[in-house]
Homo-oligomer: A and B are copies of this chain.
Amino acid sequence: MVRGGMRTGDGRMAEGRAMDRVATIRDVAARAGVSIATVSRVLNGSGNATPETMEKVRAAASDLSFRPSTIGRNLKAARTRTVGVLVPSLTNPVFAESVAGIQDAAAEAGYSVLIASTDYDPGREVRAIEGLLSNRVEGLVLTVADADRSGSLDTLDEVRLPYVLAYNQPERVPRAHVSVDNVAASRAVVERMSALGHRRIGMIAGRFRQSDRSRRRHAGWLAALGDAGLPPGPVVEVDFNETRLAHRLAPFLEGPERPTAFFASNDMLALATIRALRDLGLSVPDDVSVCGFDGIEVGRLMAPSLATLVQPARAMGATAFECLRTGFSGELQGRAVMLPFTLRPGESLGPAPSTSSQALSERRHTQS
């Protein structure tokens, strides 16, 4: 075999060099001249052994760079110390952050993390769950589109595998979850907008039929508008991967009665909205304000910086994992954990334009 070449015909992962068989506990035992039981005991610190024996075993293990196989260990122990994670997408910063939080907490507790993402594809979601179940994860932290109507969650219920939802806030089915109070959070956004003088407030949201979060946030938006005595502005429902929004927004932006602020049900949508407004020749926030929901970090870096309702994403993941691991302390009512949210001010959310300044801005933009 050529150097650098690899045999692949055996279906195994290609090997840069011939990979010699990994050392097993038996190899260590042979080299140390003891039984495998002794090796196990020494390496695990269970049971006693004479100093010399311990030394022999450790030396042998070290020589062979022996690492106990978690497979063998798992098989024996009937547990894997592995947690499954399922997210719609790793490329949405809010999920990436929460996964990072799960990783932190899991590593701390000595758990491995098996990650799968669905890219909003139901078929992939089913296969991912199957894979995680076959891998005998001890529990799952996951975010689904709609926690009230999810085949995956039904499956988990059937096989009685513990799970904790992150971000989801189911309305009908009582399911363990960690989230913020989406309704209250959305109200906070609208109240701020109202305090800034906005009277015509629209909403850009993910499909209500597909997302419990979107529904909740819409409900909060609606309720707050009602409380403030404001009429609901236009609602634009968009699909998950829709990034070009200009043609969707254009119809609502004509005439003097157009909204002066938009609440986007998540930050990616907020970014797309700002982009679209800009493409339509409107200034953010001079003409129209925008506030997002999630609190992704890049929002702080862009210009205008993104005003957003901040969810503690990292804590969301870490907390969900901890809930899974330790169990909720209370009973049923304790099966939900609400994390605190904050409103992060940003340049994208400013005071409502007065009629005169609005006209001014209008002139400025038609010039260019």
Residue numbers of A with Cβ under 8 A of B are 2-8, 12-20, 22, 65, 67-72, 74-75, 79-80, 83, 89-91, 93, 96-97, 99-100, 103, 107, 112-117, 119, 124, 127-128, 130-131, 133-136, 138-139, 158-163, 176, 243, 271-272, 274-275, 278, 284, 297-298, 300-305, 323-328, 330-332, 334-335
Contacts and interface: CB of A to CB of B under 8 A. Distances in A.
Contacts of A305: 275
B80 A71 contact: yes
A128 B107 CA distance: 9
Contact of A162 (B19, B71, B133, B274): B19
A20 to B, nearest CB: 6
Contacts of A74: 71
Contacts of A117: 100, 103
A112 B127 CA distance: 11
Given A115-B113, A301-B243, A139 B334 contact: no
Given A4-B334, A159-B22, A297 B80 contact: no
Nearest to A301: B271
Contact of A138 (B12, B119, B330): B12
Contact of A303 (B124, B130, B278): B278
Contact of A327 (B6, B138, B297, B326): B6
5 contacts: A16-B160, A71-B80, A71-B135, A71-B136, A107-B127
A17 B139 CA distance: 12
Contact of A116 (B103, B136, B138): B103
Contacts of A97: 90-91
A91 B100 contact: yes
B116 A114 contact: no
Nearest to A278: B303
A328 B5 CA distance: 7
A303 B302 contact: yes
B13 A138 contact: yes
Contacts of A116: 103, 107, 113
